[in-house]
Amino acid sequence: MADFAWGSCILASAHFAGHDPGQLTKSVGGIEMAGELAYHDEAAAEYDRAFAHVSSHFLPFLLGAAGVATGMEVLDIATGTGLAAEACLHAVGSKGHVVAADLSAAMVEQAERRLGTRPNVTFAVENGQSLSFADESFDALICSLELMFFPDPLSGLSEFLRVLRPGGRAAVSVLTVPERSYNGRINAVIAKHLPAISEATARTFALGDTAHLRQLFESAGFQNVEIFQQAHRFGLPSFDAYFGPFERGGASTGQAYLSLSPSARKTVREEVQHGLGDTGGPVEIEVEFQFASGQRG
């Protein structure tokens, strides 16, 4: 989930695709930091407050693109706090099974807290570019808001294809442009004060180009590739309801925010607030996801 991702990517996802979970002092959710910045517990704890409503809105489109259905065995790679895995469990029913996998041990722990009592879910710490599962292990695979953070997205998609059974589909969600990202506008402002994350912030939207995303799927060997976009405006009761989870260190955005000096934090908050036209009442955040899926022949 990271988006939102929240997952999930969204610098949202904070799933550390391709990074060693034991070496987190210089990388947070795909953002290469200039100094020492650990992925603290509050990042995972506040993740749901920041992104759960966003991820939950878009998850049906992701599961639909992957063809998740009753009785299937499904891999949710970059599961984050388990929001997408939970949706998969509802879809596959008691006869199906879901593997909730993430490279961040902190996120896997959150997913276990959410879903640990379910009998048909297992949890794993996995690198999306080097999965430990045998060939043809799953009927479907989903990756929410994280593929853009893979150091080599094509390598990740090739692994997705490998672990799918013939006829199975893999589906991913990615972001399109900063102005239609739930927290992209915050990341862009933070990057003015933390130049080390500028490149990674731009990479958040690297797969927003439809032609490029299609080429990646086809180069990995997927057939019947389908791509579409969905947008939604999220209303919140106040600016604090939107910004608060990040201000408390939620997800990678919050961790980057907390690394700033108090004066820089104040400046970031005020600029984001001004950009949203906040007048003390409700605020609206426009969000757009792009979905891509492909089938194993």
Rg (CA), the chain: 18
Q: How far is CA 226 from CA 63, 70, 252, in A?
A: 13, 22, 30
pLDDT at 271: 96
Helix 83-92 vs helix 47-66: angle between axes, to the nearest 10 degrees? Answer: 40
pLDDT at 39: 47
pLDDT at 45: 65
Residues paired with 228 in a beta bridge: 291
Q: Are the beta carbons of 104 and 39 closer than 8 angstroms?
A: yes
pLDDT at 15: 33
Type and span of the H or E element at 226? strand 223-236
Return the C-alpha torsion angle 263, 40, 50, 141, nearest 10.
140
Q: In whole angstroms, what is the distance from residue 181 CA to residue 286 CA?
A: 7
| pLDDT (tens place) for every residue of the chain, 297 residues total | 433 332 333 233 333 332 322 222 333 333 333 333 344 556 666 767 777 888 899 999 999 999 999 999 999 999 988 999 999 999 999 999 999 999 989 889 989 999 989 999 999 999 999 999 999 999 999 999 999 989 999 999 999 999 999 999 999 999 999 889 999 889 989 999 998 888 878 888 999 999 999 999 999 999 999 999 999 999 999 999 999 999 988 878 888 999 999 999 999 999 999 999 999 999 999 999 999 999 999
Percentages (nearest 5) of helix, strand, coil residues in the chain: 40, 25, 35
Q: Are the beta carbons of 250 and 42 closer than 8 angstroms?
A: yes
pLDDT at 41: 59
pLDDT at 40: 55
Cβ burial of 172 (10 Å; 0-12, 13-18, 19+) is: buried
Q: Are the beta carbons of 25 and 38 closer than 8 angstroms?
A: yes
Return the C-alpha torsion angle 286, 274, 282, 6, nearest 10.
40
Token reading at 57: 């809105």
